[in-house]
Structure 1
Amino acid sequence: MERKRINIIYTAKETYDGAGVKLKRVFGGMRSVTYTDPFLLLDNFGSSNPEDYIMGFPWHPHRGIETVTYMLNGTVEHEDSEGNRGIIRPGEIQWMTAGSGIFHQEMPKPFEDRISLLKDNTVSGFQLWINLPASLKMTRPAYRSIKPDSIPSVDLDEGGKVKVIAGKYKNYEGALNYGGLKASNYIEPIYMDVNLEPEASFSYSVKPGFKAIIYPFVGYGLLNGMRIDSYRAYVLSEEGEQIDVKAGDMGVRFLLLAGKPIKERVAWYGPIVMNTQEQLEQAFLELSNGTFIKHREPEFL
């Protein structure tokens, strides 16, 4: 089976977003979308200093995309313009289809265990943006909350674990595969959190033509024979199928993302991603005249 080759490498850059949340932007923007399609943006946030995240992401709109928030530590309090509220806790995922449009806010908070009185100020995790094709840009907004106990965790013979969030690993179906968002089906998403012990190996094959991205965030290793380091995203070619990762002497933990490219025009400004400039202008006109929201009640799946 032909191995995928590394097509381009993005180094995570420290920046601020929202009302002043410090984070690492792994990739994102019009310059990268051609290479990362169907994925638009990946942010890696993490700090033990509340000043780096406590101001959060106040009210803002989204249209034309899906957002996937995966918490490692801490919590995020979520609220939308229709009065829906929730908390994303450690190990949980919120997969949101913004579709035709939604207003929401996301406010990171330290994790507090009221029983043991334990308080951990560390807040860390990821937010991934996935593009929607033209046929689904204006679909009804929806949420899917994925709890830790619904995410298969597969032990590897050589040492390590694979958390299967979306897609399939061996005989284990990803948590999103059951009652997942309808809009996610178009790219057949693969999302895994792979944690390898020192010198352990992991192998996976994706469908021909699929885009795949490896993002190590702990340790280093070899990807199809080439060294990979933390805080760099390795975007693989559409050609080939096989992905082989071998951990270095300190182990390696990485995200594996893969999906079918959409290959459509992209018009993007801020939190709104459409296909044409005219559609972007229409979205901002609707924001100004109060007609942005098309569906008053998002689906909860």
Structure 2
Amino acid sequence: MSAVLSPKPGRPVQYRSRGQRQAWFNRLVSPSGLGERIKPFVFLDDFDIAPSGKPLSGLHPHSGIATLTVIVSGQMEYIDTTGKTGILPTGGVEWMNAGGGVWHGGGAIGNSNVRGFQLWVALPPEDENGPAYSQYLAPETVPAAGPARVILGSYGGVSSAIRTRASMNYLHVRLQDGEAWSYQPPAGHGIAWVSPMRGVLHASEARLENEIAVFEDSQDTIDFVAQGDTEFVLGSAVPHPHDLVLGYYSVHTSQSALDRGEASIEVIRKQLEAEASQ
């Protein structure tokens, strides 16, 4: 391992958390906690799922959000009530825009554990009760700018195939031992955070490992240096200006929008039960 070159002091880390680790995931962000601070990013899990031969959690509902799953290693099967089903390989991406209501599920397949991140983003009022839809991106369709894969948004002259009304970036970055990299957020992106899952990441004067770090609100450049081969996700965005009104699997901007979403979820549940009984 090479000597670590400290990044120059810059945009400081304002908040850090190692999350709440459970059986197969580490909950780094929840809508009732840190999600209030970094919205539109309202939920983040770092997961490590062993294959079991059946869907991990079966079908479960969402409304008012989009979920974004990045597979770092292994393979995951998926199914959703928009009619999509298939397999996400290593490097694959799932974008599930729940809108006014959807059910989806999945689990690890093959002989290896599945590692990755699941992110939830809060949708604006124009989309939170709209039609549900999903996009599944093969690894070769995810553009890259240097060491950064652009999962969502635009960076380094390339753009994700996933389109959002709100301005936000979500990058999956790999750095080699001793490699330095800088991220300049787009205009208006006052929210920024990073979560390393492998190696040690130095940012400003912080040493980060298996945690989430939230940077001070600004639009300054963030400088990184890797200690060991390092892998992390990074998010930046224009702040979400709306309240977070929470259901069990849903996040909306008002109680009336949540009520509509939960009513739609119940209609889909009854349809699924009717289909299962036939």
The TM-score by the shorter chain falls in which range?
A: 0.7 to 0.9
Deviation at 1:292, TM superposition (A): 7.8
Match of 2:199 among 205, 212, 219: 219
Deviation at 1:217, TM superposition (A): 0.8
| Structure 2: gaps spanning 5 or more residues | 1-8, 271-278
Match of 2:247 among 252, 264, 269: 269
Deviation at 1:44, TM superposition (A): 0.9
RMSD, matched Cα: 2.4
Instruction: Describe the shift of the 1:281–1:220 C-alpha distance in structure 2 as closer, same or farther (beyond 3 A).
Output: same
Deviation per residue, 1:224-267 (Å, 9 max, x gap): 232222x211111222321100112x232211111111121111
TM norm structure 1: 0.78
Deviation per residue, 1:172-215 (Å, 9 max, x gap): x1333xxx33xx131x2212111111211001111244311111
Aligned pairs for 1:235-254 within 5 A: 235-248=214-227, 250-254=228-232
Deviation at 1:86, TM superposition (A): 2.0
The answer to whether structure 1 residue 8 and structure 2 residue 42 are counterparts is no
Instruction: Describe the shift of the 1:106–1:205 C-alpha distance in structure 2 as closer, same or farther (beyond 3 A).
Output: same
- Residue in 1 aligned with 2:149? 163
Deviation at 1:13, TM superposition (A): 2.0
Identity rate, percent: 23
Checking the alignment, whether the CA contact within 8 Å between 1:221 and 1:251 is kept in structure 2 is no
Aligned pairs for 1:252-291 within 5 A: 252-288=230-266, 290=267
| Structure 1: gaps spanning 5 or more residues | 17-21, 111-119, 156-160, 294-301
The answer to whether structure 1 residue 228 and structure 2 residue 208 are counterparts is yes
Instruction: Describe the shift of the 1:279–1:71 C-alpha distance in structure 2 as closer, same or farther (beyond 3 A).
Output: same
Higher strand proportion, which one? 1
- Residue in 2 aligned with 1:175? 160
Deviation at 1:102, TM superposition (A): 1.0
| Partner Cα distance (2:184, 2:82) in 1 | 41
| Partner Cα distance (1:211, 1:232) in 2 | 17
State the one-letter code of the partner of 1:106. G
Q: Secondary structure at the match of 1:134?
A: coil
| Partner Cα distance (2:239, 2:140) in 1 | 30
Q: Secondary structure at the match of 1:149?
A: helix
Deviation at 1:6, TM superposition (A): 1.6
- Residue in 1 aligned with 2:123? 132
Aligned pairs for 1:80-99 within 5 A: 80-99=80-99
Q: Secondary structure at the match of 2:36?
A: helix
Checking the alignment, whether the CA contact within 8 Å between 1:57 and 1:107 is kept in structure 2 is yes
Q: Secondary structure at the match of 1:270?
A: coil
Instruction: Describe the shift of the 1:73–1:291 C-alpha distance in structure 2 as closer, same or farther (beyond 3 A).
Output: closer
Deviation per residue, 1:96-152 (Å, 9 max, x gap): 111111122222222xxxxxxxxx422111111000012221121121222111223
Deviation at 1:291, TM superposition (A): 6.8
Instruction: Describe the shift of the 1:275–1:168 C-alpha distance in structure 2 as closer, same or farther (beyond 3 A).
Output: closer
| Partner Cα distance (2:83, 2:134) in 1 | 14
State the one-letter code of the partner of 2:216. S
Instruction: Describe the shift of the 1:210–1:123 C-alpha distance in structure 2 as closer, same or farther (beyond 3 A).
Output: same
State the one-letter code of the partner of 1:175. S
Q: Secondary structure at the match of 2:90?
A: coil
| Partner Cα distance (2:60, 2:36) in 1 | 26
Deviation at 1:15, TM superposition (A): 1.8
Aligned pairs for 1:68-147 within 5 A: 68-110=68-110, 120-147=111-138
Checking the alignment, whether the CA contact within 8 Å between 1:208 and 1:241 is kept in structure 2 is no
Deviation at 1:66, TM superposition (A): 0.4
State the one-letter code of the partner of 1:244. D
